[in-house]
Every structure is written in structure tokens, then in C-alpha cells.
Amino acid sequence: MAPLASRKTNLASRKTNLASRKTIIGGLTVIGLIVLWFVLTTFTGLVTGARFPSPAEFWLSLNQINGRGYAGSTLASHALHSLKLVLMGFTVAVLTGVPLGLWMGWSRRAEAFINPVFLIIRPIPPLAWIPLAILWLGLGDAAKILVIWFSAFVPSVINAFTGVRNIDKPILEAARMLGTPRWRMVREVILPASLPMIFTGLRLSLQASWTTLVAAELVGALVGVGFVLNMAQQDIYPGMILVGMVTVGILGWATTLLLARIERQALAWNVAARD
Amino acid sequence: MGSISFRNVDKVFGQGTGGVKALDDINLDIADKEFVAIVGPSGCGKTTCLRMVAGFEAASAGSVLVNGRPVTAPGPDRAVVFQQFALFPWKTVRENIELGLRNKNLPVGERSDLVASALKLMNLETHVDAFPHQLSGGMQQRVAIARAYVLDPEVLLMDEPFGALDAQTRVVMQEELVRLARHNPRTVLFITHAVEEAVYLADRVAIMTRRPGRIKEVLDIKAVREREKWDSHARIEDVMDLESFVHLRTHIWKSLREEKGFKDV
């Protein structure tokens, strides 16, 4: 028993070693990139400030937008505004898309009705809706929420639909055999069984929401991170462009992380999600 | 009460010239509280027989009756134990067992009493709050059997319930099922391709031909079992050594061997 047990712990410690080694390597890569940034812009001047900002310029831009503000307001209010729009558009898309996907997955008739509409609309990139949305609703929030809804809706629908269609047949049969009434079937069987796929859809929807929002704000907006990027481009201001890019990156990363945490909570029963 | 009758049942999968006849003129009557096993080569349609009683498939011709009434849809009066367990992975052991009782709108108190006795029956008391993925295959199938038993169904339909288990677990489960079936007899239709399992568990064994499946022969095991006092032996291996057991097993084996395409063990 003893050698076997020790071998087991060896294996376990090797696994943690591997994990910590991974974080170390990852950290080194990031540090290396930052050093490279310094070297290319500040120390050697191989890349001039007109092409890409040096760390110092980035820092100055960051201070400017945090203090005096840029493009009409501070970074925090630009970021919060963008975040608000993404969350609103994403939420509307999920609340409409997931039920529709579940319904299409469950009912062949619903699929037959709705699928043709989908096939026509799907090849149109969501960003192509931006001009029409602005024409309809102007440069305000409503147009952006509409466009985000368009782009985030599709992955939510498709993955919920696929989730229902991929449910193990015996699970549905077991539920029917147990005399499960219709509404309980949806709530306690269909929905949880498709939840892993639904979350895959939500992740894609969230990514699409950010992409679309930035694009919409680039085209026409009065506030928001995309607007900052647009202004900085017109001002030929690389430092501020980088500030906008980094801000979008951090916002996207943070919301994705939040979603992943919710997913882990919701799918605690799911083995596949744990590994 | 729970009887099952197959009356001149045909089953064809697909339509027109592309249709494949799976079952041909099945006739079988299972009496109340009788345990009948169907054995046959793979693809002979034995599972289809069970699925028709469950209400998952409709007969193409003839009729399938439970208590004299034709089967129209699945329902808790005909509990099914599936080969792949078919538990709800997002529900705990208790919630899995309780769902059918909630569907019957039983009051909470009655429900928890019934669940408690089902847990006890299948030795699951210590795993009440576990999720299925935390249990071994044998344990999962115990939950599935408890989920079926707790419904107090008129008939119990078991579709190769031990087929996905390892050999040791399988033997334990077979012994437990015998214990359940003898102490609390109910109508069981049991599908298997393991001959010894069928002889050990069933009152009668129906042998099917290869596709299109027909009932070739029905053997009365119960008469032999009672005459030779099989149940005085607690262990399956002791029963399997008895001459009367070996005789029946060999008979079924030979009968199945005549069907091309039968390969097992």
C-alpha cells in the first residue's frame, strides 16, 4: 500500500508543479513583452511615438483621461457607459435568444417556422446593421443596444437549440416515464440538460456584444470607449488609442470571468465542466 | 395488479420498401407478479418489445396491453430501468427518486417517507445528497431502480439494467434483485442477452429468434426453481452449479446458437 500511496501523492504534486510552472512561464511572457515594449520604444527608438506609444506616453494619456478627461469625460464614465450598454444588450439578447432556441429545439413546428428567417438574416454580419440602427434610433444608447442584441442573439439561439437537440434520449424518456408534466419538463429537464450548451452560447454572445459595441461606438457615439478610440484616431493620439484598447480588453476579460464564475456555480453537477 | 400482453405484435421500422421488419407476430402473456425475461441475439428486437410496453414505440400491427388496456403513452404505471441508467445528472439522488412522486402530486410528508424506504431498500442512505457523477455505475443503477420502485408501478420494465456494470457489481445487483423480487414480487419484464442472468432471475424465459424477432420458445423456470429449492442458496454461484440450472442454461444456449449472429460472453 505504501509505495502506491506515495506514488499517488507524487502524481498529485507533479500536477500542481505543472500548474505553478505554467503560471510562472505565463508571467515571464508578460514581463518579457513589457520589457520588449520598453526596448523598442524608449531605449532604442526603433518604433517612434507616432506609430506606437511608449510606456511613458501611455501613462501620460492615462493620467490625462483620468484627470481632465478626454472626449468629453473621464475614462471611468466612458468605461461604465460602454459596460452598461453591453450588459443591457447582452441581457436582452439572452432573455430573448435562449427561450427561442429552447422552443425551436423542443418543437419541430417552431423550428420549421423560424428557421427560414434565421437562414436569411444569419449571413448578414451584425456590424452591417449599424448604419440602419443609427438611421432609426440616432447616436444614442438605443441604437447600440439594438445592434448588440442583433449580434448576441444569434449565438444564444443556436446554442440553446443545439443544447436541446443533443439531450440524451434516455433522459427525456425517463422524464416522460416518470409522468413529468410539460412545464416541469421544461424547467427541470430540458433547461438544465441544455445548460452546458447554453453557457457556450452565452460566452460567444458576450464576445459578440463587445465587438459590436466598440464597432458601433466607432461609427457614431458621443460617449464610450469606442468613442474614445475614434476621437484619439482623429487626434492622431497613439497613447490614447492604446488606453482605449487596453480598457476594452480589461472590460471584456472581466465580464468573461464573471460569466465563467456564474457558469461554474450553475453547472456544479456537471463533470465535464470540472475537468 | 399488473399484467402484460403482446397480441400478434409486428413492428416495422421505416416505411414502404425501405422498411425493416423488427418484430414478427409476437405473442406473450405475462401474469400479475410474474418475472419474465426475454433473451435473444443482438438486434432481434427484444428491447423494442420493452419500449412498446413503456409507450416509447407503437406497434405496427397487433396490440400491446397492460392490464387489458392498450398502451398509448409512457407513464409512471410502467416504470423503466434503462441500461444507461438515465439519471438526471443535475439532481441529487434524493431529487432523482423524488421526481416521480412530485409528478403524482403526493404531499411532502408522504413523499419523504416513500423516498426514505426506497433509499433503505437499495442501500443508498449514505448517498442521499450525492450527484450521480459522484457515484459508481452500480450505485447509479441502484438509484435508477429505487426511482422505479418508489413509483409502486404496475409493471417494472428493465432493459439490460446490468449490461453496463462490471462483472462483480453485476452479480451483487442480480442477488439483490432476486431478493427484491422474491420478497416483494411484482410484474417484471426483463431484457437481457446474458443467459445465466435470465435463468437466475426469471420465472419464465422467452427466447427470441434473430431479426425479424419471433418468440421461439418460453421456458418455465419457476417450476424447476421451486422443485429444486434454488432459493435455499444465498449465493448466485451456488445456484449456477446446480444440475437443474446447468441443464436449463445449456438448453437456452443451444437454442440461441441455432440463431446466426448470436455472440455472447
Q: What is the pLDDT of residues B59-98, one digit of tens each?
A: 999 999 999 999 999 999 999 999 999 999 999 999 999 9
Helix (H, G, I), strand (E, B), or coil: what is residue B65? Answer: strand
Residue A80 CB contacts under 8 Å (≥ 6 apart), including other chains:
none
Confidence of residue A1 (pLDDT cuts 50, 70, 90): very low
Q: Which residue has the cell 462490471?
A: B166
Q: Is residue B58 part of a domain?
A: yes
Give the Cα separation of A264 and A41 in Å (integer).
42
Which chain B residues contact residue A184 at CB under 8 A? 102-103
Say which CATH number the domain at B213 has: 3.40.50.300
- Beta-carbon contacts of residue B136 (< 8 Å; ≥ 6 apart): B169
Pair (B8, B99) in one structural domain: no
| Residue B69 sits in the same domain as residue B168 | yes
At residue A103's C-alpha, the angle toward residues A101 and A104, to 5°, is: 65
Q: Does A171 touch chain B (CB under 8 A)?
A: yes
Question: Are residues B190 and B251 located together in one domain of the fold?
Answer: yes
Total domain count, chain B: 2
Q: Which of B133, B152, B171 is the last residue before a domain boundary?
A: B152
The DSSP string of A44-84 is S-SS-TTTS--HHHHHHHHHHHHHT-BTTB-HHHHHHHHHH
B75·A179 Cβ contact <8 A: yes
Domain that holds residue B223: 1-77+162-265
| ipTM (interface pTM) | 0.91
pLDDT at A236 over 80: yes
CATH 1.10.1200.30, domain A55-274, yes or no: no
Do B22 and B66 have their domain in common?
A: yes
Q: Is residue B12 part of a domain?
A: yes
Name the residue with higher pLDDT: A175 or A269.
A175
B86–A170 CB contact, under 8 Å: yes
Residues 160 through 199 of chain B touching chain A, CB cutoff 8 Å: none
| Domain's final residue, options B117, B134, B152 | B152
How do residues A80-124 score in pLDDT, each as one tens digit?
999 999 999 999 999 999 999 999 999 999 999 988 888 888 888
Closest residue on chain B to A168 (Cα): B86
Domain presence at residue B82:
no
**Residues 6 or more apart whose Cβ sits within 8 Å of residue B114:** B101, B106, B150
Tell me, yes or no, whether B69 and B103 share the same domain.
Answer: no
* B136 in the same domain as B194: no
Residues B104 and B63 in one domain: no
Report yes or no: B13 and B79 within 8 Å, Cβ to Cβ: no
Is B256 contained in some domain?
A: yes
Contact A174 B104 (CB under 8 A): no
Chain B environment of A170 (Cβ under 8 Å)? 82, 84, 86
Q: Do B80 and A179 touch (CB under 8 A)?
A: no
* pLDDT value, residue B1: 77
What is the structure's pLDDT at A275?
A: 42
Q: Which of B120, B143, B145, B119 is nearest to B132 (CA)?
A: B143
Same domain, B62 and B114: no
